[in-house]
Amino acid sequence: MIKQINLVLPAYARGFHLIDAHIIKACDSLPTAGIIHIFIQHTSAGICINENADPTVLLDFETVFNKLVPEGMPYYKHDMEGNDDMPAHIKSVMVGSSVAVPITNGQLNMGTWQGIYLCEFRNRGGQRKLLLTIMS
């Protein structure tokens, strides 16, 4: 069986935001076993799985991404939407636009310290749309 769910996340500030609860709520119930594929339908934000225990990890991500892909560089040609736009596109390519998580016993089967994150790379990205595909 395959089921697809459209999920609209609220607008988040720039940074990395744990979204597990939004995903679980949108699914209502999960099958006993399967896979959930989570795809973000945007090019200036990403999705990742990483540590959910220590919030300083997320601050370090933001710091490193901003050093690797700085804003306001004179070599950016795509700059009509602001200094954060082209860097956001580059950062989203680095992170990726989807993750797949196993489902076991009706729950997301992630490691003890893992969480699913929206990686918001725009200062004001607005609501973000996710497509959740559950395969059982």
Q: Does the structure show a pLDDT above 90 at 79?
A: no
Q: Which residue has the tokens 């892909």?
A: 69
Q: How far apart are CA 25 and CA 8, in angstroms?
A: 12
pLDDT at 87: 98
Q: Global pTM?
A: 0.95
Label residue 80 by pLDDT band (50, 70, 90).
Answer: confident
Q: Which residues contact 87 (CB under 8 A, 6 or more apart)?
A: 66, 69, 70, 71, 76, 121
- The fold of 2-135 is Jelly Rolls (2.60.120)
- Does 8 have pLDDT greater than 90? yes
Q: Note the pLDDT of residue 117.
A: 98
Q: What is the DSSP secondary-structure string of 6-22?
A: EEEEPP-EEEEEE-HHH
Domain boundaries, the chain: 2-135
